[in-house]
Amino acid sequence: DIQMTQSPSTLSASVGDRVTITCRASQSISNWLAWYQQKPGKAPKLLIYDASSLESGVPSRFSGSGSGTEFTLTISSLQPEDFATYYCQQYKSNPWTFGQGTKVEIK
Amino acid sequence: EGQLLESGGGLVQPGGSLRLSCTASGFTFSSYAMSWVRQAPGKGLEWVSLISYSGGRIYYADSVKGRFTIARDNSKNTLYVQMNSLRVEDTAVYYCAKSREGTTDAFDIWGQGTVVTVSS
């Protein structure tokens, strides 16, 4: 199975900050990577697919990069509605696996 | 805008069974692979099972293999999961999710989730 490891687990930041979350795969997944945002009590929401493609309707302050085993999600200027938990997910092979999540908190 | 609506969750005793349903609208259900993803209380996301658009390919996480059965009825735009021999550790919110394009793809539409509690 491919393990996905996110860092950090928790991130404290202020509105307007540039935020970067890292996701590492235990083996190469090319660009078969997605990023999701989840708010408490809500379903996850797709932000980025194929490592760097922005899902329709997602603000352009979100961006993704990377390939192989190392990936990043960047929020260029953190907004109040961005405080949430973020998950990466690989879909190169079965079983599809998620990172453990990164909680972005208000500083 | 596509939507998914899960139902069938509830409280069940260990060893019991439950069938969850997920009804789709707003997109051509029969053209897309579908998955079940769960989230235990206070924990992260865990993919459970995936079925291809036709039902011809089915995959399970090791944690549910032999106990859960995924199925779909394209005439009813509905996805199912039959959960047998339930364990306390199966307690979670269960989401259904649509694959974006191919079978191996990100999940672009999620339901609101249905809660399954396994407890005596």
**pLDDT average, residue stretch A65-77:** 98
> How far B105 CA sits from the closest chain A CA (Å)?
6
Which residues of B, range 75-104, sit inside 8 Å of A by Cβ?
95, 100, 104
Tell whether B35 is within 8 A of chain A (Cβ): yes
Indicate whether A12 pLDDT > 90.
Answer: yes
- In this prediction, residue B23 carries a pLDDT of 98
Q: With an 8 Å Cβ cutoff, are A87 and B113 in contact? A: no
In the predicted model, residues of chain B with pLDDT beneath 50 are: none
CA distance A21 to A35: 10
Strands B3-7 and B18-25: antiparallel
- In this prediction, residue B74 carries a pLDDT of 98
Chain A residues in contact with B70 by the CB 8 A cut-off are none
Mean residue pLDDT of chain A comes to 97
Direct distance between the N- and C-terminal alpha carbons of chain A, in angstroms, rounded to an integer: 36
**pLDDT average, residue stretch A19-25:** 98
- In this prediction, residue B103 carries a pLDDT of 86
Tell whether B61 is within 8 A of chain A (Cβ): yes
> How far B29 CA sits from the closest chain A CA (Å)?
19
Tell whether A49 is within 8 A of chain B (Cβ): yes
